[in-house]
Every structure is written in structure tokens, then in C-alpha cells.
Chain A
Amino acid sequence: MDFSLNDVQLMLDDAVGKFVDNDYDFDARQKHTASDAGYSADVWKTFAELGWTAVPFSQADGGLDGGPVELMIMMQHFGRGLVVEPYLANIVLAGGVLRRVASDEQKTQWLQPIIAGELQATLAFVEPQSRYDIANIATVANPDGDAWVIDGTKGVVLNGGNAELLIVPARTGGKLADSSGITLFAVPAAADGVSVNAYPTVDGHQAAEIELQQVRVASDAVLGAVDHGYETLGAVVDEATLAVCAEAVGIMKTLTDKTVEYSKNRVQFGVPIGSFQALQHRMVDMLTACEQSYSLLLWATMANADGTDEATRAISAIKYQVGTAGQKVGQEAVQLHGGMGVTWELDVAHYFKRLTTIGQMFGNADWHLDKLAQ
């Protein structure tokens, strides 16, 4: 058991931390999110130049051999900075599938440009009816000679409006919620029969509803083995869950710091509101929520990195914690900022919104608590 970061991890921590502190202020972030793409192509290029888009990939694939710990380090800073660039969709979700099961040819075609920051991608794992069950897939892929024909609807596809590559889980066998019979396909967003209805999300990110009608792809579009996509999907979603939890912990700490700072400066009744014991105890509760969440994040990240048999439970534990404690911290931050907390102008509101949407993704608190209670 060892809580220390190695030299490479310390350097990454330092570099991403400095970027967020010095080069990614809230006003710039708001400009990025208000643009058509909803993120900054320049910032994305910088991420690629700094090697951050290469972090979780193997050296053989042109990556930096990072794992869950490196991802945790980066995502916490992205949370602190409220970064809107689509790291989760491109690198964690789409990249996560490709690095696990893509053939060398597929990697050359799809993964290399993603690492280079030249291709936008995503994993379309949600369907309107699926809620949090990733096996609940109604989209079907039927064989047609050497090719496959895909029909179905994907909902709330993160980065869906920007993605040029969609990784589409589709049913090639079994019933609606079976874990067997799921196959992963690499589908160009420009393919015939793909229609994308893109929209902004409440947290300043982007998503899309995507219709697939008689979309025809060749057999080389299959990622991994036919009918056996579920395990890959599960592993990638686990990793993404950890990633957003790390982001959430970064947000929670930031909100707590900002709230404490505000309470020292905001004067009412002739004194700083931070001198009121009722508020002090609530801020201590916020701090406690942050520290407890960070502890679970470390446990889950290390369990996942070490591949222990506790990993699945650990991920549910941190996601449950982020769902409950995150909601509490977000609501308290807004409440203690008073009227200012409910304005668009103040960054606190935007941290709160992102924390809220993270709670809704990859299984909410109740869903994970149910898994833990089984």
C-alpha cells in the first residue's frame, strides 16, 4: 500500500495543474462553451502537443503508458478548471474502446488521429430507453453479405455533434438487455443514414441524439469480436466513471474553497458571514464531504489500477459518494453564496451544474447503491 505519486505522475500533476491555473480562466472557458463547437480547437491542439491526448495509450500505440492514476490526476484538474474540451468522449470513451480491441489497421485509421488531436470521436453507449444499463441496447446490426446494416437511436451522445467517428454498440444477437450479442462498430458520422441532432448540455458541454437508419458498414468496422462487445463496454464505462468522479472531486474541492473564501469577505450585519457558527459547521461538512470523496477516489483508482477484485465495488462506491456528497456540496455552495450563487455570471453556478450532470451519468447514486446492496 502506497499513496505516493511517481516522478512522471508528479510532473503530469504539475503540468496540468499549472495549465488550469494560468491558461484556462473562467472567462475563456465561457467563450469556448459559447462557440459553435462548444470547445476550443486551439486548446485541444495544445493538449495534443503536450502529449495529454496520448496519456492512457500504450507506447506501442504511440501513447505514454498511463493508467487510472494518471487519468485521475488529469481529471481532477479538469474539474478544478471546469474544462469543456471533450477529453472524456475522445480519449476515455472512444480511445478506451480502440486501445482495447482495435486491430492494427483500425488503430492506424482511428486511434492515431485521435492521439494526434486531429479526429473527434465518441462512444454512443446510451439509448433513450436504456437508462443506466449498458446492456440495454435496442440498436440492431444485421449482416448483409460481408457488410453490416445498423438501425437504431442513440441518446445523449457526448461530443456527438463534433464527433467524426462514432463507436456504436449494436445488437447482433440476444434480447434487449442481454450482455451477450453486443458488437461494437466504428461508424463515420458522415456515413449515409446517420443523422445527428446536436445540442448544448446544461453544464456547458455538447451532446447529440443520433439516428442510424440502414447505415451500412463493412466488416472491418467491427471492433473486437462479434457478439462480445459487452466486456469492453463495461471496462470502458468503468474507466469513464472513475474519470468523471475524479473531475467531480476537483469540482467539489474548488466549490468548498470558493465558498470559504466568499464567507470571509461577504459582510452582513457588520461581520463576515463566515463568523456565524451555523455556516461554519456547514462548511466543515462540505470539507468533510470533499475529503471522504477524495479518499474513495484514491481507493477506487488504485483498486482499478492494481486490478484487485474489489475494483467493481470500489467504482460503485465512489460514484455513489460523488452522487450524494457532490449534490450536497453543490447545493451548499450555491446556498452560502446567497443571491450571487444563482447567477449565470458567477462561476460557482457552473461548477454546480457540472457536478449535477456528473451525478446523472454512468449510474446515479441510487443505482450504484443498489449494486452495492446486492
Chain B
Amino acid sequence: MHVTFTEEELAFQEEARNFFQNELPEDIRQKRSQGVPLERDDYIRFQKCLFEKGWAGYNWPVEYGGTGWTIVQKYIFATEMAAADAPDIIPFGLGMVGPIIYTYGTEEQKERFLPDILASNVWWCQGYSEPGSGSDLASLKTRADRSGDHYLLNGTKTWTTLGQHADWIFVLARTATDVARRQEGISFLLVDMKSPGVTVKPIITLDGAHEVNEIHFDNVEVPLDNLVGEEGKGWTYGKVLLQHERTGTAGVARTKYRLAKLKQQAATSVRGAEPLAADRNFMRKIAATEVELKALEFTELRTLAAVASGKAPGPESSILKFKGTELQQAVDALYLEAAGYYALPYVPDQYAFDFPQQERVGEGTETQASLRYFNFRKASIYGGSNEIQKNIVAKHVLGL
């Protein structure tokens, strides 16, 4: 048992650190540090940097162009990426549908879709939730009816993150209704967003941002070739993805970086007579959050280590999603607290590059604290709400 890195791991850490320092485009770095919202192209350019380095498939096996990294390498990669304040990797292609396709797809599908996912040539989004199917996903009503050489897709998907940027969407749709269990008869389909009958309607969230969408399918023709795996077995594949979404959303490295940055700001930013770091109450809250975060970091590492050694992940894996999002939100709340009165101004546009400096309100990016705080209430709701996660743990781990 050792907590220290080996020589090889230290060398990899150095390589990753240098990579993010040197290869992350300067304008993206500036946008991140100044709180300028990223555009579609920014995400793509960043992901293409990873692709060129051979690191886009950070989670993929070597045979499909992935890195085949050890868990420690993945951990170092995530840590360094967060420490460089690089953008998040958009998960829908590289993290979600890619693995589903190389696991359950046909050879033809692998050849057709995987290279573009890896190179970020195609932007994917996720079609799971529906207006009537939130936590109870198996109640979904979107239908895909066979009609000759294609399915006719009808229904509405919602909460589709960054669907406004997407080229393709993966959809869970009902292909059979005469089934014993609601989880049966659901299929996993790949749908071109340019198909006639697809409409994207923005949903504005409480922070005023356009991040999620409602997607309507009106007699959309989906070729039968775009079915992944077996017809009617989509629930199984979808669940695997949710599992991934749950571990993926722990976001420990990012939260850790944000907390460290807040601590630094608290020590250096002097508004009144003393820095915020002189406030014992605040610093104790930071310390308590750090402890929980460190615990989660090791919980995640333990999970990954168990999986890497061929064991099924233990009970610790199930808590990643709800604990990870709780901690994200706890850190957001600390930022809000640090902002004081400057949590009030609603000036989302002032961080644009061309916004006149002298008209900016507040120091640094502090007026973003409340927007982020509001926006990230989503974290404990998406990917199966935290209450659902606890139901799952109660049933499958505790056997209740």
C-alpha cells in the first residue's frame, strides 16, 4: 500500500502538466480565467488538442484508439486537466456513446462512428429524459415504429444538454409495447439531428442560460442500421451509460481545483481590513469540505482500482454520484458566501471579451458565483436524482 507515485507516474504527471500548459489554446485559457463563456468551437478546439496528443480516448481501450491508461494515469490526467483550468470534456461522445458503440455496436457502426467521436468531428447529445419521464425513466413514451427499412421516431426528449450544438443524438425509444416489464421493448438509436422532423427548442434555466433543450421528433426516419445492439434491449445499454454518468459526474478533480482556488482567493483578496481567510467560520467550512472531498477522491480511486483488478466495484462506487454532486454544490455555496453583496448583480454579459473593463461590476469573476450556484442545483437532479441514487444503493447494495 502506497500513496506516492512511481517514477513512471511522476514522469506522466510532468508530461500531462506540460501538455496542458503548452497546448491549451491561449484564448481558451483566458476565457476560462476571466469567466468568459465558451462557445461550441472552443470545446471542439480543446478536444482536438487532446485528439492530436492521442489522449481523446482517455477512457477507451487501445484497440479503438484509446489510451489504455491505468487508473493512476487517469487520475493524474483528470487532476492536471482541472489544475490547468481546462474546459470540461463534453461527455456525450467520448464518455458515453463511444463506449456504448465499441461495446455493443456492429463492426460497421464502429468504423462509421468511432473515428469522428474520437476526433471530435461530430457533436453528440443525449436523448433520455422526457417531459413525463424524469427519475422514472422506464416510463418513457417516445416511439420508434418499424416502417420498411427505417424506424419512424415520434416523441419529445428534454433536458438535452447542449443539444443546440449537436450533430447527432442517441435516443432511448420504445420499439415494442406488448412487454411484460416496462424496461423491455426499449431500443437504443443513433439519430442524425439534421433529419427532417427534428426540432430543438431552448429551455432557459434559472441562471438565465441556454444550456438545455427540448427536442421534438415528428415522424423522423431513422435507418434500421442505426439501432445499437439488439432491438428492445436498449434499457440494458442505457443503464450502463447511467452508471458511467454516475461515476463521471463525481467531478472530484474539478471540485478540488475550485476549492483550492477559493482558498487562495480568500487568503489574498482584501476588500476590507482583513482577507476573508481571517474569518474562522469560513475557513472551518472550507476545511470540512476539503476533508469530504479528499475522502471522495480516495473513494473514487478505490472504485477504479477494484474495477482495474477485475473485481466488481464495491458499494463505494454507488455513492460517487450523490456525494460528488453534493460536494460540487457545497463548493458553489462557499463561492456564493465569499461573494457577499456581489452575489447580487445579474450581469452575465460583462465577461465577454469585448465588454468595456471600466463598466465591469465587482472584482474578478465574483458576480458569477450566484449564477453558478443556481445553475448547479441541476447536479443533484440529473443522471438520476440523488434520492433515486439512494434508492438504488438501498436496494442493490444494502439489499433492502
A residues touching B (Cβ–Cβ < 8 Å)?
1-5, 9, 69, 260, 263-264, 274-275, 277, 280-281, 283-285, 287-288, 291-296, 298-299, 301-303, 305-306, 308, 314, 317, 320-321, 369-370, 372-374
Question: Known contacts A275-B400, A288-B319; is A296 also within 8 Å of B3 by CB?
Answer: no
Residues of A within 8 A of B288 (CB): 320, 369, 372
Nearest A residue to B9, CB-CB = A1
B280 / chain A contacts, CB cutoff of 8 Å: 373
Q: Tell me whether A283 and B1 are in contact (CB under 8 A).
A: no
Query: Smallest CB–CB gap between B322 and chain A, Å?
Result: 8
Instruction: Show 21 A/B contacts (Cβ-Cβ < 8 Å), sorted by A.
Output: A3-B305, A4-B1, A4-B305, A4-B309, A5-B1, A69-B1, A264-B400, A277-B391, A280-B390, A284-B393, A287-B397, A288-B322, A288-B323, A294-B316, A295-B294, A295-B297, A298-B298, A306-B4, A314-B294, A321-B291, A372-B288
Partner of A283, one of B290, B292, B394: B394
With A288-B323, A306-B3 as contacts: A296 and B295 at CB distance below 8 Å: yes
Q: Give bound CA distance, A277 to B394, whole Å.
A: 9
Please measure, in the bound complex, the distance between the C-alpha atom of A294 and the C-alpha atom of B302, giving whole angstroms: 10
**Is there an interface contact between A1 and B398, defined as CB atoms closer than 8 Å?**
no
Instruction: Determine the distance from Cα of A122 to Cα of B152 in the docked complex, in whole angstroms.
Output: 79
Partner of A298 from the list B1, B309, B400 (CB cut-off 8 Å) is B1
With A264-B399, A295-B316, A372-B287 as contacts: A321 and B295 at CB distance below 8 Å: yes
**Distance between B119 CB and nearest chain A CB, rounded to angstroms:** 31
SS class, residues of chain B in contact with chain A: helix
> Is the CB–CB distance between B302 and A298 below 8 Å?
yes
Which residues of chain A are within 8 angstroms of B302 by Cβ–Cβ distance? Answer: 3, 295, 298
A369 to B284, CA, bound (A): 6
Beta-carbon contacts under 8 Å, B1-26 to A: 1-5, 9
For the complex with contacts A5-B1, A280-B391, A295-B316, 19 further pairs of A-B residues with Cβ separation under 8 Å are A1-B301, A4-B305, A9-B1, A260-B399, A263-B400, A264-B399, A284-B390, A287-B397, A291-B315, A294-B316, A295-B302, A299-B3, A299-B294, A301-B1, A302-B2, A302-B3, A317-B294, A320-B288, A370-B284
A277 to B399, CA, bound (A): 13
When distances are taken between beta carbons in the complex, the residues of chain A under 8 Å from B4 are 1, 306, 308
Q: Which of B291, B391, B394, B398 contacts A296 (CB 8 A)?
A: B291
Which A residue sits closest to B316, measured CB to CB? A291
Query: Which residues of the other chain, B, contact A372 by a CB distance below 8 angstroms?
Result: 287-288, 290-291
Chain A residues in 8 Å Cβ range of B398: 260, 274, 280, 283-284, 287
The residues of A that contact B290 with a CB separation of less than 8 Å are 317, 372
Tell me, in angstroms, the Cα distance from A223 to B90 when the chains sit together.
61
Nearest opposing residue in chain B for A310, CB measure:
B3
Given contacts A1-B9, A3-B302, A287-B393, contact A305 B315 (CB under 8 A): no
CB distance from B11 to the nearest CB of A (A): 14
Q: Which of B345-400 contact A (CB under 8 A)?
A: 387, 390-391, 393-394, 397-400
Answer whether A305 and B1 are a contact pair too, CB < 8 Å, given A292-B323, A373-B283. Answer: yes
Interface size in chain B (residues, C-beta < 8 A):
41
Which of A9, A277, A295, A306 is in CB contact (< 8 Å) with B2?
A306
- Whether B296 lies near A292 (C-beta < 8 A) is yes
**Option from B1, B299, B399 in Cβ contact (under 8 Å) with A295:** B299
Q: How far is the CB of A314 from chain B (nearest CB, A)?
A: 8
Which DSSP category, helix, strand, loop or mixed, fits chain A's interface? helix
* Contact call A295/B295, Cβ cutoff below 8 A: yes
Is B122 located at the chain interface by the 8 A CB criterion?
no
Q: Are A291 and B394 in contact (CB under 8 A)?
A: no
Residue of A nearest to B3 (CB): A302
Q: Which 9 A-B pairs have the closest CB atoms?
A: A295-B298, A302-B3, A280-B394, A372-B287, A292-B295, A373-B287, A373-B283, A295-B299, A284-B390
Task: Give the distance in Å from the alpha carbon of A137 to the alpha carbon of B361 in the complex.
Answer: 54
Q: Given that A1-B4, A4-B1, A302-B1 are contacting pairs, would A317 and B400 also be in contact in the complex, using a CB cutoff of 8 Å? A: no
B72 interface contact, C-beta 8 A: yes
Specify which chain B residues have a CB less than 8 angstroms from the CB of A374 in the assembled complex: 283
Q: Is B286 in the interface zone, CB < 8 Å from A?
A: yes
Q: Which residues of A contact B322 (CB under 8 A)?
A: 288
Q: How far is the CB of A156 from chain B (nearest CB, A)?
A: 27
Chain A residues positioned under 8 Å from B309 (CB to CB) = 4
Residue of B nearest to A311 (CB): B3
Contact residues in B for A264 (Cβ distance below 8 Å): 399-400
Query: CA separation between A281 and B387, bound complex, in Å?
Result: 8
- Contact assessment for A281 and B301 in the assembled complex, using a CB-CB cutoff below 8 Å: no
Measured between alpha carbons, how far is A373 from B2 in the docked complex, in Å?
A: 26
**B265-288 toward A: CB 8 Å interface, digit per residue (1/0)?**
000000000000000100110111
A306 to B9, CA, bound (A): 16
The chain B residue sitting closest to A283, CB to CB, is B398
Complex formed: what's the CA distance from A292 to B72 in Å?
19
In whole Å, how far is A10's beta carbon from the nearest beta carbon of chain B? 11
In angstroms, Cα B391 to Cα A294, docked, is 22
CA–CA, A99 and B390, complex, Å: 47
**How many Å from the CB of A319 to the closest CB on chain B?**
10
- Residues of B contacting A69 in the complex (Cβ-Cβ under 8 angstroms): 1
Interface members, chain B 287-338 (any A CB < 8 Å)? 287-288, 290-292, 294-299, 301-302, 305, 309, 315-316, 319, 322-323
Q: B387 to chain A: which residues have CB within 8 Å? A: 281
Closest chain B CB from A209 CB (angstroms): 33
Which of these, A308, A317, A321, A373, contacts B286 with CB under 8 Å?
A373
Bound-state Cα–Cα, A173 to B4, Å: 39
Could you tell me the distance in whole angstroms from the C-beta of B40 to the nearest C-beta in chain A?
A: 36
A306 contact set on B, CB distance < 8 A = 2-4
Q: Which residues of B contact A303 (CB under 8 A)?
A: 3
